[in-house]
Structure 1
Amino acid sequence: MSPVFPISPLLPEIVASLAERPRLVLEAPPGAGKTTQVPLALLHATWLAGGRIVMLEPRRIAARAAASFMARQLGEEVGETVGYRIRFESRVGPRTRIEVVTEGILGRMIQDDPTLDGIRAVVFDEFHERHLAGDLGAALALDVQASLRPDLRLLVMSATLDGERIAHWLDAPRLSSPGRSFPVRVEYPPVRPQETVEQHLARVVSQALRDVDGDVLAFLPGRREIERARAMLERQVEGAEIVALHGELSLAEQQLALAPADPGTRRVVLATNVAESSVTLPGIRAVVDSGLAREPRFDPPSGFARLETVSISQASAEQRAGRAGRVAEGVAYRLWPQSRRLDPSRTAEIEHTELSGLALELAGWGTDELPWLDAPPAGAMGQARDLLRRLGALDEASTITGLGREMLVLGAAPRLAAAALRAAPEHRALVADLLALVEARSPLRGEYGRSDDFRQRLAALHLWRDGGARAARAGSADVGALAAIEKASSGWRRRLGARTAASGVPNAHAVGDLLVHAFPDRVARRDEAQPMRYQLANGRGARLHEASALHGEPWLVVLDLRLDARDSLVFAAAPFDPDVLERDHADRFVTERVLRWDDARQIAEGFEERRFDALLISRKAVPITGADALPALLAAIRTRGVAALPWSEQALRLRARIGALRAWRPELGLPDVSDDALTRTVDAWLSPYLTGKRRIEAVQAAELSEALSAMLDYEQRRALDTHAPEELKVPSGMSRRLVYGTRDDDPGAPPVLAVKLQELFGLSDTPQVGDGRVPVMLHLLSPAGRPIQVTQDLAGFWNRTYPEVRKELKGRYPKHPWPDDPWTASATHRAKPRGT
C-alpha cells in the first residue's frame, strides 16, 4: 500500500488543472510530499501521452534522494521509470519517464533541443530558492512554450513562495496544499560572552538532547563550521551519533545522513541549508538554527565573486523550524536575538551573482528578451559580456563565436571553459584537475591550509592519486575533499577526452600558464619598489601576506583574494611565464604615447608606454613639444590648485578688486576669480599663456595679470576702475592705495584705506566705493604710521574721538599740526614748517 501524504488529496486537482491550462503554481510546505508524489501522479495523466517529465531540483543531494524515493515507491531501481542526471553522474535509461535534473542540465537540454522533443512537462521544485539556473530554466521553458511547444506543461512548486506574484508572472492558476506538521515551540537561547557560533550551537544542541526526545537537526552556514561543531560535540556528547550533511560529501556519506538511525540511537545532523527542503530527515524533534547561510556575492568593480556568510530570510527560518514538527511536537532553538528582524524572503541569486554563465547561455539562445520573473541587472550583464568578449566567447557585436558554442557544450563556468579549450591536447588531463580544484574548496588543512600558492592544491591531489590516502594525510590534505575533487576531475577528463589522469609534479609555470586563459584580467605584476605588492591587469592593487609562499614571484595569476579598499589580500594565485601573454593574448597589448606631470621635478614629461590592460610593461622617455605638454601642465595646475602659480602682488590685488566688485555689483556679471573657480576653469583662462611651456614656474606674473584682465570685457574693466579703484586721492593731494580682499570669508568686505590722520583734515564724510554703496574702512595713522583708529564713520570720529586723540598726539608729535577744528584745517602729509 502506497503511503498517504498531505498532498495526496490534491493530486487529482493538480492533474486536472494541467489538463485544462498549461501552467500551474503549487504551494505546499515541507513534508507535504510534493517533490515525490506530484511527478508520480502526472505519469498517469492522459495529456502526458507517454511523454517524459523533467523535474528541476536545485540541489544534488535532493535530486538523488527524490529519484531514489520515487523509484522505491514503484518497486524499481533508479534508472528505470525514474532516474536523475546531475553533473558527471547520470542514472537514466531507455524506459525513464521521470528525470530529476540539477544545475545547468535543464538549460543544456533546451539549448540542445529547443523543441524538447518527447518531454511533455517540466516541473520546477523548490522554486523559492531562486537559484540562477532555476530562473533561467523557467524563462527558457516559457519562451519555448510560447513559440514552439504550446502543449508543454510547466509546473512551479515551492514550500515558501510569493504564490500570487508567481501566478501573475506565469498567468497560471494557483493551488495550495496543507502540510503535515505538529506545533513547534520557538526559543531564543542567548549567546554567552566570547562564544563563537559553533560553541553556541554545540551548547544548545547538548541542551536539546536533554530537553527533547528524538533527533536534532542543526543548521550551520558551511562545511568549515560543521567540522568545528562536530569536533566539539564528539567531545561533549555521549550516546549520540554526530552526522554531517552538506554538498561536498560523497554519495555514501549523504545516504548515511538521510537514512534512519539504528534503533535506540539518537542522532545529531549538522547540515547546511541543503536540509531546508526536498530531503527527508526522519526522527527530527529539535532544530538548532544558527540563522546563517553561505551564498555567492559578486563585486562588479573588482570582477571577483566570493561566498559570503549572510543572515537567512524569515521564510528560511520558518522552513527550518518546521523540520522539528514532522513527527511530533518539537522545539526550534534560534541562535539570534528575538528582536532581530529578518528579510521576508530570499533574494534572487540573479541579483547578486556573477552573470557570465548566464550571458553565454543567452548569447547561445540568441536573445535575452525572455519572460523573466526578475530580469538580470544591466550593469552585471554588461560586465559579464565584457568578460566573454575578453575570453573570445563573444565578438564585438556580442554575438556568440565558435569558441563560445564550444564553451556552452563543455558546461564549465566560462572562465574555466576558455582555459580548458585553449589548452593543448597533452595538457587536457592537467586542465581537468585545475577545473575541479578551482570549483572546490581547498583540500589543504593545518598549516598548509593557509597557503596562497594554488600549485600546492594540485600537488596534494597528485600525491593522493599517486601515493594513496596515507601520503595525502602526510601532506596535510583532507582525503575526503580530495576524493570529491578526483570525482569531478574524472568527469572533466571524460568531457575533455583525456584518457589518463595527470600525475607527478608539473613544471613551475604549468599551472599558471593554463589559468591565465581563465583569468586574463587578474594577471598581476610585482611592484619593484614594494615586493609584496602587485598591480592587477584590471587596475586594482593586491598584496601578499607575510607568510606567503609566493614571495619573489614577478608574475602571478590571481584566482582568489579578499577585497580591501586599497590593496586586496591574495588568497590563491600561481606564477606564470609572461611569454604566454605575448603568445596568446597579443591583442590585449597597447603601445601609446603618454604625457604626465613629474611632481618631483615639476615638469611635463613624455613617454612611450607598452601596457597589458592596466599593467605597465615598458616605458621609455620621448621628446615632447610645448603643445604636447599643455594637457599635463593644466592637469598639474588643477591638482595643485592655482595657489601654486607665481602670482605677483599686482595680480593678487587685481583678483581682490574683481572679487569685491562682483560681490557689490552682481548685475555686472564679473567672473568668479576665487581659487576654486580659477582652478576649475584654468583651461579657459590660462591656456593661451601656457603655450610652449613645460613648467609651472615658466609662467610669468605679468602673464597672470594679463590673463585676469582678459577675462573682463571693456565695460567691466571701466566699471572696475570706477567702482573698485586701486587707490584714492585724499585731501592732502596724495593718492593712497586701497586694500581689497581683507577677509577670506567675504570677498565683498569694505576695502581698507590706511592714511595719516593729518591727510584727511577738512574731509567730513567717509570715502565710498562700489558706486557709492560701500564706505571704505579707514585705518587712521599717526605721523609715525602707527594705527590710531579704525572706522567707517569719519564724521563721528572728528566729533567724538579726535579731541582726545589730539591731546595725546600733540604732545607726542609737536612738529605736526593738530588744529582745534579739523573740519576747516588744511590737510597735509608734512610736518609744520620750521619756526612755526
Structure 2
Amino acid sequence: MVNLPIDSVLPELKNALHSRESAVLVAAPGAGKTTRVPLALLNEPWLLGRRILMLEPRRLAARSAARYMAALLGEQVGETVGYRVRMDTRVGPNTRIEVITEGVLTRLLQADPALEEVGLVIFDEFHERSLHADLGLALCLQSQSILREDLRILVMSATLEAKPVAALLNDAPVLSSDGRSFPVETCCIPRRIEGQMEPIVVRTVADALEKEEGDILVFLPGAGEIRRVEAGLAELKLGRHIHVAPLYGSLSREAQDKAIAPSKSGERKVVLATSIAETSLTVEGVRIVIDSGLMRVPRFSPRTGMTRLETVRVSRASADQRRGRAGRQAPGVCYRLWTEQDDRYLNPSSTPEILETDLIPLALELAAWGVSDPAELLWLNPPPASAFNQARELLIQLGALDEGGAITSHGRRMTELGLHPRLAHMVLKALPIRLGGLACELAALLGERDFFRNGVHAPEADIRLRMEALRSAGKIQGHKIDIAVCQRILSEANHWKAALGIAPKQETDDLDACGLLLAFAYPDRIAQRRENGRFLLRNGRGAAFARMQPLSSAPYLTAAELDDQGTESRIFLAAPVVLSDLEQHFGEQIEEDNVITWERQTQSVRARKQVRLGALLLKEMPLADPDPDDILVALLHGIAEEGLEILPWTKSARQFQQRLTFMHRFNSDWPDVADEALIVTLKGWLAPHLYGLKSRDDLQRLDMKAILETMISWEQRRELDTHVPTHFAVPSGSRIAIDYTSPESPILAVKLQEMFGLQETPRIARGRVPLTLHLLSPAQRPVQVTQDLASFWQNAYFEVKKDLKGRYPKHYWPDDPLCAEPTNRTRPRK
C-alpha cells in the first residue's frame, strides 16, 4: 500500500479517539483521509465490533470512496465496506464500514436515535456545510450526550476552520495533516469576460490541449453550461483520441463512473464538471484545471417562500480545492477565468447552506426527533428564525405538524418516505384517490432538472407535456429530449411505486389530475388568473408566464416552479386545476367572509359574501342582510378615503365650520372642526347621522350645518352669533357676509362707496379682532386691503379716488368720505 501523508497522523488520531468521544481532523487535499481513516480505525477496541458510518456530501463521492476502500482490502463493495445512497445500496451482513450520503444518516437516526450498532460517525468534507451535515451533527451530538456516551464523532475537512467545530464538540482535540500535492502553475485572465462565458471556455480547452499534457477538468456552474461547452467542443472536431465527458449530480451512475475513470493509453479526456468534482474524489489523469470561477447554489427567500438557484462566484476555499485537482498525481496547471484583481476579493469560504436554503425538511426532521425549538440542539450556525417559522407554518398547513408544532401521524409517514415534505405529502394524499402512481411520477420528475433541450426557446410551462414525454419514452413531436434523464425519472418513479405497493390496475390514469396533485405539494402556489397571462398566487404574490401560452387562459393553476425576481415571479412549471377539485380537497382551508367595503367606482358601500382560499377569491355573491354597524364602518372609511368634499357642504355650512374654527383659535374648549380634525374624528361627530345611508347620493340628504351645530352647546351658539356674526351691516344699510376662510384674519369684502361715513375698522370677538377690509371698485375688484380704515381715509383714499374717478366718472367720489352719504348705488338718492 502506497504511503500517504495521513498515515503519520493515524496513531495520534487513534489515541485521541481512545481517550475522547470526539475529534477534528484537518487534512489538506490529497492527504488520503477519506479512504485511510475508516480502515485504520476499523479494529480499534472502543469500537467493540460496531459499524463505522462515514458521511459524504455526494453520491458519486460515496460510491467512489467505498469502491476504493474495498479494493484496498481485496474485496468487492458490499463485503467489509459498503455504501448507502439514495436508491442505491450495497451493504451485506458483514459490512463494517458504510459510506453514506448525509440524508441517509438522518433516516438512520430517526429509526434508531441511539445508533446502537454504530460506534463511530465520520463527517467527511464538513467544510461544505450542507444542511444535512449540520442537522446530522446536531442530532448525533444530542444522541451522544443523552443516549450514547460511547458514540464517537469525527469531523474531517480539508479547509475547515477547526476551532469553532472543536468547541462545539466539547473542546475536542484538533489534528492536522499536510496533503500530498504537486506544484500547480496558476494563470488568471488579463480582462474580465464580457458576454457569454462558454466560448471562452471552449477556446481555453483547445489551447490547453495544444500546450499541455494530461487530461483536463473544467469546472462549470451547471448542466446547461456543460451542454453548451460540450456542443462547442464538438464543433472543433478535436479528434478520436480526445473524449469529452460531462460530470454532474443528475447523470446516471455509469456516466459518472466513466467521467472519473482513467483514460486509456494514447487517449485524452476533457471532463466538464460542476462542483461535484471539487472534493472527495480524484478524477484520474487530470493535469489541467480550467475554472470558470462560478457555482450554482440554492437561495431561499423567506419573503416569498420560494427557492431559486443562483449563480455565484466561488469562495477562496473552493477555488483552492479546484486548483488542487491538477496536482494530485503530478505537476499541473490551473487556468482561472477571472482576473488577479477579482481573485483578491474572493470570499474566504462559502455560506453554510442552513443560512440560505429551504428549511421545510429541517423543520419536519426536528419535529420527528421531538424538538420544536432548534435552540434545544447544538449548532455551528442555528437556522434563521424567520425561515424556520415559515417552514413550520407550511408544515402545519400540510397537516404534518399540529398547531403546537408537534409532529402528526401524517407527518411521521412523510418522514418515512424520504422525499421532500411537499412531495411526500402529495404522494400520501394521492393514494386514497387512486392517483398514487401519477404522484410518484410527478415527484420523480420534480426532483430532476427539465429534460427538454429546446435551447433558447423554452418549451411551454405545462407539466403535462413533460408527463406525456415521460410516458412515451421521450418521443414527443417538436422537442429535443434528454433520454437519460427520462429513464432516470422513470426508474425513481418505479422505485416509489414498488415501495408503496401501488398496483397500476387499481390506479386512475388522468394527466389532468396533475394540477390537483401539484396543489397538494404546493398549496401556497395555487394561482388564479387575472389578465394577460398574469396570476395571483394563494400567498398573495403575483406570477406570470414569460410569454403567452395555452396555460395563460387557465382560470386556476398550480405553479410547481417559479423564480423569485421582482414583484411578479416567473412561472416555469405549472398545471391547470379546476375549482371543483379545490373545493373538494381544500374545503377545510376555504373561508367564507362577509365583506362590506366602500367601492370607489360606484361611490357606495358594497356588501358581499366572499369565498376565499388564501388571497384567491373563489366566489362572490350579494350579502342579503348586512350588519348596519358594518355598513356604517365602511361608509366612514369611504368618506375618509374620498375626503370631506363628498359631503353636501353649503355656503352656510362652510361658513359655520369656519366660524367655529375661528373660535377654536381663541379657546381650545371649542371643538376643532378643521377638515383635518373632522376626518380623524368622523366616528364621533358624523357617525350618528349616517345610519341607513350607503352611498354618495344618500349622503346628499345630510344637513351639514345642523350636524355641526350639534357639536356646541346652546350657550356657545349664542356666544357665536353675538361675537362671531355671519354678516356685518355696513353704513349703506347692506348686510355683507363675513368670510372666515382664514381664521387668522376674517375678511369683509365691500364696495368702497358703502363704507363712507364709517371712521374706524369694524371688529368682532368682543373687539379683539379687526376685520380685514377688501374695499372694492364698482367692478367688485379690490382697490385696497386694510385693517386700518381711519388711516385709509386720511392717506390712501385720495389717490384711490383719483384713479377710480377716471375709470368710473358716473359714480360718486366725494372729497370728504367721512361726511359723505354711503350708497350701494352709482350715486346716492336725491
TM-score by length of 2: 0.88
Asked if 2 retains the 8 angstrom alpha-carbon contact of 1:556 and 1:576, the reply is: yes
Identify the match of residue 780 of structure 2 among 782, 785, 794.
785
- 1:558 equivalent to 2:559? Answer yes
1:554-607 deviations in whole A, cap 9, x for unaligned? 443321234465554432222345443344333223334332334443322323
Q: Find the counterpart in structure 2 of residue 455 from structure 1.
A: 464
Counterparts of 1:393-408 in structure 2 under 5 Å? 393-408=400-415
Which residue of 421, 424, 436 corresponds with 1:417?
Answer: 424
Structure-2 separation of matches of 1:474 and 1:816: 95
SS of corresponding position for 1:305: strand
Greater displacement, 811-820 / 195-204: 811-820
For residues 791-823 of structure 1, give each alpha carbon's deviation from its aligned partner in whole angstroms, at most 9, with x where no partner exists.
56767756664332222223444566656566x
Q: Mapping of 1:754-769 within 5 angstroms?
A: 754-758=749-753
Separation (CA, whole Å) in 2 of partners of 1:246 and 1:477: 18
Deviations 1:405-434 (A, max 9, x none): 111111111121122122337543333222
Tell me whether 1:68 sits opposite 2:77 in the alignment: no
Partner of 1:429: 437
- Which residue in 1 is equivalent to 2:146? 147
The 5 Å alignment of 1:437-448 reads 437-446=445-454
Secondary structure at the aligned position of 2:572 is classed as strand
Aligned partner of residue 649 in structure 2, secondary structure: coil
Distance of 2:8 and 2:622 partners within structure 1: 83
The change in CA–CA distance for 1:474 and 1:827 in structure 2 (over 3 A counts) is closer
- Correspondence for 2:359 among 343, 355, 361: 355
Which residue of the partner structure matches residue 575 of structure 2? 574
Retained in 1: the 8 A contact 2:757–2:822? no
Distance 2:106 2:683 in 1: 56
Deviation at 1:481, TM superposition (A): 1.0
Tell me which residue corresponds to 1:745: none
Once the two structures are superposed, the pairs formed by residues 671-682 of structure 1 within 5 Å of their partners are 671=672, 673-675=674-676, 678-682=678-682
Q: For residue 246 of structure 1, report the CA deviation from its aligned partner.
A: 0.6
Structure 1 unaligned spans of 5+: 743-747
Residue of structure 2 equivalent to 1:346 = 350
1:183–1:722 CA distance, 2 compared to 1 (3 A): farther
Classify the secondary structure of the residue corresponding to 2:386.
Answer: helix
Query: Counterpart in 1 of 2:196?
Result: 196
In structure 2, relative to structure 1, the CA distance for the partners of 1:166 and 1:758 (3 Å cut) is farther
Alpha-carbon distance in 2 for matches of 1:315, 1:720: 83
1:489 to 480, 493, 497: 493
Deviation at 1:207, TM superposition (A): 4.0
Contact 1:221–1:293 (CA under 8 A) maintained in structure 2? yes
**2:484 is equivalent to residue 480 of structure 1:** yes
**Maintained 8 Å contact 2:4/2:180:** no
1:180-579 equivalences under 5 Å are 180-181=180-181, 182=183, 184-191=185-192, 193=194, 195-236=195-236, 238-239=238-239, 240-326=242-328, 327-328=330-331, 330-335=333-338, 338-339=341-342, 341-367=345-371, 368=373, 369-424=376-431, 427-446=435-454, 450-464=459-473, 471=475, 476-498=480-502, 506-526=509-529, 530=531, 532-544=533-545, 546-550=547-551, 552-563=553-564, 565=566, 567-579=568-580
Aligned equivalent of 2:822 = 828
Partner-residue secondary structure (3-state), 2:551: coil
Q: Quote the Cα distance in structure 2 between the aligned partners of 1:298 and 1:250.
A: 28
Contact 1:596–1:606 (Cα < 8 Å) also in 2:
yes
- The amino acid across from 1:802 in the alignment is Y
Distance 1:769 1:65, change over 3 A: farther
Instruction: State the 1:722 CA deviation.
Output: 9.2
Indicate if the aligned counterparts of 1:84 and 1:100 stay in contact, CA closer than 8 A: yes
Kept in 2, the 8 Å contact 1:216–1:267? The answer is yes
Task: Tell me the equivalent position of 1:648.
Answer: 650
Q: Tell which deviates more after alignment, 204-213 or 731-740.
A: 731-740
Q: Which amino acid aligns with 2:617?
A: L
Q: Does 1:692 align with 2:692?
A: yes
- Rounded Cα–Cα distance in structure 2 between residues aligned with 1:399 and 1:615: 29
CA contact (8 A) 1:190 1:337 kept: no
Unaligned runs of 5+ in 2: none
SS at the partner of 2:472?
A: helix
Is the contact between residue 756 and residue 829 of structure 1 (CA under 8 Å) also seen in structure 2? no
Quick check: 1:200–1:335 contact (8 Å CA) kept in 2? no
Question: Contact between 2:594 and 2:609, CA under 8 Å: does it hold in 1?
Answer: yes
Q: Distance in 1 between matches of 2:211 and 2:715?
A: 94
**Given residue 460 of structure 1, which amino acid in structure 2 is its aligned partner?**
A
Q: Does 707-716 or 245-254 show the bigger shift? A: 707-716
For the 8 Å contact 1:219–1:290, the answer to whether it is kept is: yes
Looking at structure 1, the residues matched to 604 and 178 of structure 2 have their Cα atoms a distance apart, in angstroms, of 79
SS at match of 2:61: helix
- Distance of aligned partners of 1:808 and 1:307 in 2 relative to their CA distance in 1, 3 Å threshold: same
Select between 513-522 and 395-404 the one with higher mean Cα deviation: 513-522
Secondary structure of 1:610's aligned partner: strand
For the pair 1:624 / 2:625, whether they are aligned, the reply is: yes
Cα RMSD after superposing both structures: 3.7
Return the offset for 1:765: 7.7
Amino acid in the other structure paired with 2:236:
Q
Q: CA deviation at 1:462?
A: 1.6
Q: Conserved in 2, the CA contact under 8 Å of 1:430 and 1:501? A: no
Q: Which segment is superposed worse, 294-303 or 826-835?
A: 826-835
| Cα separation, 1, equivalents of 2:736 and 2:390 | 67
Query: What SS is found at the alignment partner of 1:457?
Result: helix
* Cα distance, 1:111 vs structure 2: 0.8
SS in 2 for 1:509: helix
Q: Give the match's secondary structure for 1:417.
A: helix
Give 1:260's aligned amino acid: P
Rounded to whole Å, the distance in 1 between the matches of 2:116 and 2:614 is: 46
Q: Deviations over 1:327-372 (max 9, x none)?
A: 3253341336834844443222222322222221111111132222
**Contact 1:670–1:716, Cα closer than 8 Å, also in 2:** no
In 1, the alpha carbon distance for the partners of 2:316 and 2:686 equals 62
* 1:10 Cα offset (Å): 2.4
CA 1:715–1:18: 2 relative to 1, 3 Å: farther
Once the 2 structures are TM-superposed, how far is the Cα of residue 22 of structure 1 from its aligned partner? 2.0
Post-superposition shift, 1:325?
4.3
CA deviation vs aligned residue, 1:175-212 (integer Å, no higher than 9, x gap): 3333344354341343455x312223323333444554
Contact 1:429 1:501 in 2 (8 A): no
After TM superposition, give the deviation of residue 268 of structure 1 in Å.
2.6
The 1:21–1:726 alpha-carbon spacing in structure 2 relative to 1, beyond 3 Å, is farther
Q: How many angstroms apart in 2 are the aligned matches of 1:198 and 1:253?
A: 22
Alignment coverage as a number of residue pairs: 818
Kept in 2, the 8 Å contact 1:433–1:486? The answer is yes
Q: For 1:197 and 1:772, how far apart are their aligned partners in 2?
A: 86
Measure how far apart 1:265 and its partner are. Answer: 3.5
CA separation of 1:761 and 1:150: change in aligned 2, threshold 3 A: farther
Q: Which amino acid aligns with 2:322?
A: R
Tell me, yes or no, if structure 1 residue 161 matches structure 2 residue 186. no
SS in 1 for 2:694: coil
SS of 1:261's partner is: coil
Residues 719-758 of structure 1: CA deviation (Å, up to 9, x unaligned) = 988997756676777664444556xxxxx76454433335
Q: Percent identity?
A: 45
